[in-house]
Amino acid sequence: MAHSEIRLSVAEERTIYDVAAIDRAMEEAAGNRNEALATLYEKMKQRGGGRFLVRPTGADMIDDLYDTCPNFSDVIDDLKKYVALSVAGNEPMSFTPILLLGEPGIGKTHFARELADRLGTGHEFISMSSLTAGWVLSGASAQWNNAKPGKVAHTLVHGDYANPIVVLDEIDKAGGDSRYDPMGSLYGLLEHDTARAFKDEFIDIDIDASHILWVTTANDERSIPEPILNRMNVYEVPRPDHDAAISIAAALYREIVGQHDWGFPPEADEAVLERLGSLPPRDMRKRLLAAFGTAKLEGRNWLEGKDFEQARMGRSRKIGF
């Protein structure tokens, strides 16, 4: 689905770090030079500390999420309130950090990416299940070998916006040594006042991370510390019912067909939607793409139910080269 109807405009430029602070940090580190840090400082000086804060230009800018992610209607209802407030006040987009809670395969990660696409401020996707130390988010001291900035600072320094969406996927699966808690930095980052002076340990200067739009996902909230949960709006996302699954399938079909010149009709017939809608949301795209390929191999420009029976994709395991 093309998103040409998304309407965004620049609200203002906001300083997220002080260039003069970089000069002072470079002077202090002159006797213990870290080349990677020096290079990053130079880049930060060249880019300057200003980043754009964007605002929505219409309260309806996320309305099509009701079609593509119908089981997230409660989340969308609340987000529309924030959009409406931003439009009314001609203010940058912001919302309370959200946690999407639900069983695997119901489309939580897909929704987070779709929301980032609609808001258009850029986004960073972080798989928390792969994190074993807090420095991945907040950086490691430049005194350590192979140290580098964390993903939060990287997103703000290298991105164009002060209010990107940062998606923390499977936050309940973050693990590792308790001395280096992967969620430790979130205690400050999820609070607006403390996030205004976030300090990445590698860069070691204050960065304003208070405008980041946080979206987190989890299957089970029991492993998430209560102080983290209290900083977020928590939504229990249900499995799509029959009508919702058909709506997701139809939207996905239109999106893929609209992106390619394959010759398929713009709308799928009812039998195809029923077959596609019977699949978990996370499997729909790969099975639909395989079905398109099966139809083409048989010389057809339309899908049939049997295409999904033949479209059994291999397991996600690398074999050979």
* Distance from C-alpha of 128 to C-alpha of 108, rounded to nearest angstrom: 14
Determine the pLDDT at residue 107: 85
Look-up of token digits 């005194």: 143
Phi (first) and psi of residue 112, to 5 degrees: -60, -40
pTM equals 0.81
Q: What is the pLDDT along the chain (321 residues), one digit of tens a residue?
A: 444 444 545 568 899 999 999 988 888 766 666 788 888 999 999 999 999 988 888 889 899 999 889 999 999 999 999 999 999 988 888 999 999 999 888 888 888 888 988 888 888 888 887 765 667 888 877 777 777 888 999 999 999 999 999 999 889 887 655 556 778 889 999 999 999 999 998 998 999 999 999 999 999 999 899 999 999 999 999 988 899 889 889 988 998 999 999 999 999 999 999 999 888 887 888 999 999 999 999 999 999 988 987 545 554 433 333
For 121, 144, 204, 234, 303, the CA distances from 217, given in Å and listed in that order, are 19, 31, 29, 10, 34
Determine the pLDDT at residue 16: 95
Helix (H, G, I), strand (E, B) or coil at 236: strand
Phi (first) and psi of residue 97, to 5 degrees: -50, 140
Q: How do strand 213-218 and strand 206-207 relate by DSSP bridges?
A: unpaired
Q: What kind and span of H or E run contains 187?
A: helix 186-189
In terms of residues, how long is the chain?
321
Q: Find residue 198's DSSP bridge partners.
A: 207
Look-up of token digits 């607006």: 192
